[in-house]
Chain A
Amino acid sequence: MSQPSLDVRVELPYHLRTLARVGQEVTVRVDGPATIGAVIDAVEQRYPVLQGTIRDHGTLKRRPFLRYFACQEDLSHEPADFVLPEPVAKGTEPFLVIGSIAGG
């Protein structure tokens, strides 16, 4: 039996919002489990200009100065097939892509 599609809310950092010409938060549809990889796949599919900006084109690894947060947890080091917390899958909490603090 196929899994239902999920509408996942994703918050993007300022520079990616301006690049994609969207507001602070976007909603993407994910088919199947709302894993980190599936959510980023959906973001990149809907906003192709973001390909290569959140994760590397070739390796699909998260770019070093970005972090993934959800439900007050740092999920940055979880694997791509990590299933996001239920409130994210249900759309009550956003998945956060955050630019790390650096520089001065």
Chain B
Amino acid sequence: MKNQGLPSRPLREEELRVPVQKLFPSELYFCKNEVPFGLKRIDLLFRKRSNGQEIVAVELKLRDWKKAVWQAASNRQVAAYSYVALPSASAAAIDRRLMVSLGLGLIIADPADDARIVLRAKRSRYVNRRIATEISSLLTGY
């Protein structure tokens, strides 16, 4: 019997990508997947078409919110706004006070539904202009 009440739990991070991308539509944002930064990759990076300075990073995770918070905190070095995107089933466990104290945003994303921002990211105080400019140039033309 189909479970009507609960959203289906995604099996791969990839499934969160499309719902999150809808939050930053292509008319308004350039977008790039898997952007190299240090030894890691940023899952999703958006740059506002009207304002080249405004970069948004999104870290997708299915379960391990601590790792997601770590990566999102790291992304503040290149993105003005940094988000963690989790399925609703995992988001309940996240320490929201910590997210607020770090200025990180939270997106709840389920494959079958539209994603929604439940906590807005604050502007990062840690952007490294040099690296941000380098990374920003990767987003041109998308």
The answer on A and B forming one complex is no
